[in-house]
Amino acid sequence: MTSRPATRSGPNPGTAPGAGTGGSMRLAALDGVRILAAIAVLCYHYLALDSGWGEPAADVFPVASAWAAYGWLGVEIFFLVSGFVICMSAWGRTAGEFAVTRVSRLFPAYWAAVLFTAGVLYTWPEVSSVHAFSDVMVNLTMLQGGVDVPHIDHVYWTLFVELKFYALFALVVLRGVTYRNCVLFCVLWTLAGVVAPTADSTLLYFFAIPTYSPYFIAGIAFHLMRRFKPNAVLWAVVGAQFLLAQTYVDGRMITNLGHATAERLSTWPARAIIACGFLVVAGIALGAFDRIRWRWLRHAGAITYPLYLIHMTAGLTIIHHFRRALAPVPLVLSVTATMLVLAWLVHRLIERPLGRALRTGLWRGVEEIRRSTPAPAPIPVLPAQPSAPEAERVYEARR
């Protein structure tokens, strides 16, 4: 296997849309996938969950709730896109650069979302509430999933999964992001994900993330197809991940919908949505959507992350508070529009300026670490050993 990019037609892969990408080139189709996934998750929360309405959502939206019940699969599609994007954006970066781009991209909007959601819950503790002020403080670290502190907003659980993926992929960055290292990483992570459910190791299961690793791994393989050219090895990696992902569909249905609803609904729409996600990202990898360059997709993709962070608990709380004052459809549309506007404001007024400032500060810290690290001591050059005849002459002269 070679680590040299193959010559191919179409635009250069450039940088990926999504968290932590830079540069001028974006794949607009990836932005489109991300915004569709975000809208799907939003519809699932607003139309299929009972908590916002104080009664079964199926009674409020008899038809829409049945389809919105599969919107949680937007998270799986997010993970698929994340594998693609992170592999793309990490290419050619050092470990320090990788860490700086991740932190400066993830945290500004997240901090704003935590404080905003906490404020809504303190004001209207109807759907959920903040148990302790310390919970808000711990949530600001994004590490609450590891220390068993409740999430201020339930969607934050996905961020902890993302952090584990970043930690694992950082191992590739340390060795150098090359074709060979990425394929090896995919193979080893696949083996870990297969072994983890039956192995007696909590640590292995924690980092293997077997329920979601197939999506990250497939995304990495799709990016390798994009950067290089497709081959049997990469298609085998993707095919294996698609099949492994089917193992967890039933469990994810139960987790998101409960036993009763999951038993009543068929799993084939969920499997079809996963298949469509794989097919669309495969099309992006193969250049099938390179002609899509609509500028509005870039703006839509930019607000996807803040929209995802702020929409659930705050949105359900607002729905619950005003459910008697407005009809369901106008209420959902109003809350959705409000969340879109707030997401845009977070992106423009907080995420962009604070992200730049944070990135600048972190770069300075990384540079100070580099300057303070002592250079390795030079290896002493030993004099060459004389040849046998020359050694004899030296010996005779010394006698």
Can you give the residue ranges of every domain in the chain?
28-378
Q: Which of 35, 9, 18, 30 is nearest to 89 (CA)?
A: 18
Please give the pLDDT value at position 396. Answer: 56
Please give the pLDDT value at position 2. Answer: 38
Please give the pLDDT value at position 367. Answer: 83
Residue 356 CB: number of other CB atoms within 10 A? Answer: 12
Cα dihedral 301, 304, 305, 306 sign: positive
Determine the Cα–Cα distance for residues 341 and 234; give it in Å rounded to an integer: 40
Output the CA torsion 269→313→344→295 (10° steps): -10
Determine the Cα–Cα distance for residues 253 and 262; give it in Å rounded to an integer: 6
Task: Give, in order, the Cα–Cα distances in Å from 19 to each of 100, 208, 369.
Answer: 12, 22, 25
Determine the Cα–Cα distance for residues 84 and 261; give it in Å rounded to an integer: 33
Please give the pLDDT value at position 16. Answer: 33
Please give the pLDDT value at position 379. Answer: 65
Indicate the pTM of the whole model: 0.86
3-state SS, one letter per residue, for the chain: CCCCCCCCCCCCCCCCCCCCCCCCCCCHHHHHHHHHHHHHHHHHHHHHCCCCCCCCHHHHCCCHHHHHCCCCHHHHHHHHHHHHHHHHHHCCCCHHHHHHHHHHHHHHHHHHHHHHHHHHHHHCCCCCCCCCHHHHHHHCCCCHHHCCCCCCCHHHHHHHHHHHHHHHHHHHHHHCCCHHHHHHHHHHHHHHHHHCCCCCCHHHHHHHCCCCHHHHHHHHHHHHHHHCCCCHHHHHHHHHHHHHHHCCHHHHHHHHHHHHHHHHCCCHHHHHHHHHHHHHHHHHHCCCCCCCCCHHHHHHHHCHHHHHHHCHHHHHHHHHHHCCCCCHHHHHHHHHHHHHHHHHHHHHHHHHHHHHHHHHHHHHHHHHHHHHCCCCCCCCCCCCCCCHHHHHHHHHHHC
Q: How many residues does the chain have?
A: 399
Determine the Cα–Cα distance for residues 338 and 183; give it in Å rounded to an integer: 43
End-to-end CA distance of the chain, in Å? Answer: 60
* Residue ranges of the chain whose pLDDT lies below 50: 1-24, 391, 394-395
Determine the Cα–Cα distance for residues 83 and 286; give it in Å rounded to an integer: 16
Determine the Cα–Cα distance for residues 347 and 80; give it in Å rounded to an integer: 23
Contact partners, residue 156, CB within 8 Å, separation at least 6: 139, 142, 144, 145, 309
